[in-house]
Amino acid sequence: MEKILHFDSQAIEKMDKLFRANFINSVTGFKSANLLGSISSSGVTNLAVFSSVTHLGSHPPLLGFITRPTVVARHTYLNIKDNKRFTVNHIHSGIIAASHQTAARYDSAVSEFERTGLTEEYLNNHKAPFVKEAQVKIACEYVNEYDIKENGTVLVVAAIKHIYLPKDSFTDDGWIDLNQLNGVSINGLDSYSSPKLLERFSYAKPDTPIKSILKKE
Across residues 36-60, what is the average pLDDT? 96
Would you tell me how many other CB atoms lie within 10 Å of the CB of residue 151?
A: 8
Share of the chain above pLDDT 70, in %: 97
Across residues 106-119, what is the average pLDDT? 95
Q: Name residue 187's beta-bridge partners.
A: 191
Taking the C-alpha atoms of residue 17 and residue 137, their distance in angstroms, rounded to an integer, is 34
Q: What would the pLDDT profile of 143-201 be if each residue is shown by its tens digit?
A: 999 999 999 999 999 999 999 999 999 988 999 999 999 999 999 989 999 988 888 89
| Chain mean pLDDT for the chain | 93
- Fold assignment, 30-193: Pnp Oxidase; Chain A (2.30.110)
For position 217, what pLDDT does the model report?
61
For position 1, what pLDDT does the model report?
56
Across residues 45-67, what is the average pLDDT? 96
- Return the domain boundaries, the chain: 30-193
Residue 135: exposed, middle, or buried by beta-carbon count in 10 A (0-12, 13-18, 19+)? buried
Please check the confidence at residue 12 and state whether its pLDDT lies above 90. Answer: yes
If we measure between CA atoms, which residue out of 103, 111, 117, 112 comes closest to residue 192?
103
What is the Cα 186 distance to its own chain's centre? 9
For position 149, what pLDDT does the model report?
93
Taking the C-alpha atoms of residue 122 and residue 112, their distance in angstroms, rounded to an integer, is 16
* pLDDT tier for residue 215 given thresholds of 50, 70 and 90: confident
Taking the C-alpha atoms of residue 198 and residue 168, their distance in angstroms, rounded to an integer, is 20
* pLDDT tier for residue 71 given thresholds of 50, 70 and 90: low
* pLDDT tier for residue 214 given thresholds of 50, 70 and 90: confident
pTM (two decimals) = 0.92
Across residues 112-135, what is the average pLDDT? 97
